[in-house]
Amino acid sequence: MNVETNRAQKGLAGSRMSNESFITLFMIGVLVALFGVACAVVPNFYLPQNMINLLTNNWYIIIVGIGVSFLLITGNFDMSVGGVIALTGVLSAYFCQAAHVSQNTLANGLGLPYGVAIALALLCAMGVGAINAFFIARLKVPSIIVTLGTMMLARGTAQVVTQGAQRNTSLPDVFGVIGNMAIPHTSIKVSVLIMVALVIAAFIFEKTTVAGRRTYLIGANPEAARLSGIKVAQHITCLYILSALLAGITGVLLASEFKAGVSNRAMGCEFDALVISLLGGVSISGGFGSVLGMFVGAVILSVMNSSATGLLLSPDWQFTLKGVVTFLAILAQRYALDRRKG
């Protein structure tokens, strides 16, 4: 190869962005387009308050989306997060409800201090993550099977503890504080701040840490990762426990916000988390993606939900609209990526 073509190629490669930036920018483009359409057809969609809502009202899906995205990058699913949210919420309520105060079993709890109750509830959440990890990383059972199982298990336990309903009586006042705290003079809740902090931390993790690097290596080629000395099973175990912990934190915050441990809280949340990861460009076969993309995906989903509500569509049509747009967005994304490669 002569020097000139070499240099020309180097120049080209320099100006060429990575596939990841390409996908993220592409999805931001999709988001802007969707937002434009929504502004044109939905009344009052452009109002600043609505825009803030778009960015913040999906906070709980985004928090669990972090764990789900990282696992997806390693080539594994986590469908148990919705169940874990419900379980942790219910348990956090049950643990700090006053003990022996009522004839009604749903009003009686363990009477533990709020801090202890939360810590125990989070520990239970991590226990579910550990069960996932044991079957997936050690026994090599396909992750989709295991986590669908623990999804049922976690939600089922939540239903047993609440007798299929919720626990909302004889709770201490402190229970409802953190979930309803907001930045003074705004509608932005502490939960949203926690979400933002976690997304930033996750972004730093994936871009700059050795553990973040390993996450991608395992997803790109698990066999080569093992032969390169990466402790694959151990890493996946940590990620499952992390994912369950994030779901647990979400569960505690949601329970606090509603001052109740509700057994059917965050129903279907695992699918939303999966959808925003995929919308954000995380590859379903692993090795590729970013939490930043996932965040963009979450906002796209939010725009869809919000405009469906704004158009006064009935809930069943909302679901269909969401499905169609998700499908088209992912299709467009794959098409663009293939064109780029070819």
Partner 1 sequence: MGLTEYVLEIKDLVKDFPSVRAVNGVSFNIKRNTVHCLVGENGAGKSTLIKILTGALLRTSGTILLNGEEYCAHNPREAKQQGISTLFQELNVVDQLTVEENLTLGMEDTTFGFLRKTDKIKQIIAVMNSLEPSISPGQLVSTLSVAQKQIVEIAKAVATECDVIIMDEPTAALSEGEIVRLFKIIKGLRERNVTVIYISHRLDEIFEIGDYVTVMRDGRHIDTRPMAAVRDRAELIKMMIGKTVFEQYTPKEGASTKVVLQVRHLSTRKLRDISFDVHEGEIVGFYGLVGAGKTELARAIYGVDRYVGEIWFRNKRLPCSPDGVIAAGLALVPEERRSQGLFTVLTVRGNVPVMNMGKISRGGFVRAAEERAVTQLYIDRLRIATSSTEKEAAQLSGGNQQKVVLSKCLFAEAGLLMLDEPTRGIDVGAKSEIYGIIRQLSAEGTSILIFSSELPEVINICDTIHLLYDGSIRETIHNGCDIDSERIIHIVTGGA
242 is a contact residue toward partner 1 (CB under 8 A):
no
322 is a contact residue toward partner 1 (CB under 8 A):
no
13 is a contact residue toward partner 1 (CB under 8 A):
yes
Sole binder of partner 1 in the list 156, 193, 213, 264 (CB under 8 A): 213
139 is a contact residue toward partner 1 (CB under 8 A):
no
Sole binder of partner 1 in the list 34, 190, 196, 220 (CB under 8 A): 220
- φ/ψ of 263, rounded to 5, equals -75, -20
Nearest partner of 307 among 57, 30, 47, 35, judged by Cα: 35
Contact region for partner 1 (CB under 8 A) — 100-108, 227-235, 306-314, 330-338?
227-235
Task: Look up tokens 């919420």; give the residue.
Answer: 89
CB of residue 214 to partner 1, shortest distance in Å: 8
CA distances 190 to 43, 122, 149, 180, Å, are 29, 19, 32, 8
25 is a contact residue toward partner 1 (CB under 8 A):
no
CB of residue 337 to partner 1, shortest distance in Å: 11
Q: Please identify, using beta-carbon distances, which residue of 31 and 73 lies nearer to partner 1.
A: 73
Contact mark string toward partner 1, 168..207, x via CB under 8 A: ----------------------------------------
CB of residue 315 to partner 1, shortest distance in Å: 39
Q: Please identify, using beta-carbon distances, which residue of 104 and 208 lies nearer to partner 1.
A: 208
Sole binder of partner 1 in the list 9, 187, 309, 320 (CB under 8 A): 9
Site size toward partner 1 (CB under 8 A) is 30
How would DSSP label each residue in 280-326?
Answer: TT--TTSS---HHHHHHHHHHHHHHHHHHHHTT--HHHHHHHHHHHH
Long-range contacts of 279-284 (CB under 8 A, 24+ apart): 279/27, 279/326, 279/329, 279/330, 279/333, 280/23, 280/24, 280/27, 280/69, 281/20, 281/23, 281/24, 281/26, 281/27, 281/333, 282/69, 282/72, 282/73, 283/72, 283/73, 283/219, 284/72
3 is a contact residue toward partner 1 (CB under 8 A):
no
Classify the phi-psi angles of 304: left when phi > 0, otherwise alpha if psi is within -120 to 50, otherwise beta.
Answer: alpha
Q: Please identify, using beta-carbon distances, which residue of 235 and 265 lies nearer to partner 1.
A: 235
Return the number of other C-beta atoms located less than 10 Å from residue 211's C-beta.
Answer: 12
Q: Please identify, using beta-carbon distances, which residue of 13 and 40 lies nearer to partner 1.
A: 13
Q: Please identify, using beta-carbon distances, which residue of 16 and 99 lies nearer to partner 1.
A: 16
β-bridge mates for residue 87, sequence order: none
Give the residues lining the site for partner 1 (CB under 8 A).
1, 6, 9-10, 12-14, 18-19, 208-211, 213-214, 216-217, 220-221, 223-231, 287-288
